[in-house]
Amino acid sequence: MTMNIHQMSVQYDERQDRLVLRVSTQDAQEFRLWLTRCMTLRLLPHLQAAVVQLEASDPQVMAPDTTAQQILADLKRENFLSQADFSTPFATQTLGLPLGDLPLLVTDVQMNLHSSGSLHLQFHDKNGSSASGLSCEFKLQASLLHGLLHLMEQALKRAQWQLPSLTPRADLMDSGQSEQPSYRH
């Protein structure tokens, strides 16, 4: 099922010491996900590498090496952020909650870059006896991924978690990966 994303929000919940990712769709559904510190810090470098790969795969602008690809992604990010609306509050009126009232505790994430120029992210709760077995999938174009990364970085600053460098690692940008990345708690 393809969901047309309407809004995204990432907030730090101090009491839970987690990030809550909220995604609303154009068909009035809201998906709520808990991202722990561990999951966030494992996932973030791969999301950053994915946005560089998505931007580098644009046939109109081919970047020959990882440095040029990073510069291109940074330019596209700045362009996107200058036009994006981060001031409109997340709308919660009468949204359906297909995953329930409580956020899904993300224990596994699968990422798949598609040749269509999008990143498919599958979030799962399937670890331990309290796992719900629920999951959801989002299809993000480069612009939405830039937005998600920006929201995550803002929430991470509020969380004051000790962070590794937020610069994408060149070893993760190798497009010759034969298997799709998967992350587990």
In this structure, which amino acid lies at residue 164? Answer: P
Per-residue model confidence as pLDDT tens digits over 115-148: 888 999 999 998 777 667 899 999 999 999 999 9
CA angle 144, 99, 85 (to 5 degrees): 25
Confidence of residue 166 (pLDDT cuts 50, 70, 90): low
Confidence of residue 36 (pLDDT cuts 50, 70, 90): very high
pLDDT of residue 70: 78
- Higher-confidence residue of 122 and 75: namely 122
pLDDT of residue 177: 52
pLDDT of residue 124: 95
What is the mean predicted confidence (pLDDT) over 80-102? 83
- Helix, strand, or coil here: 36? coil
- Phi/psi of residue 155, each to 5°? -65, -35
- Of 60-69, 91-100, 149-158, 170-179, the one with minimum mean pLDDT is 170-179
The tokens 């791969």 sit on which residue?
46
What is the mean predicted confidence (pLDDT) over 72-101? 83
* Nearest Cα to Cα of residue 25 among 117, 118, 144, 164: 144
pTM: 0.79
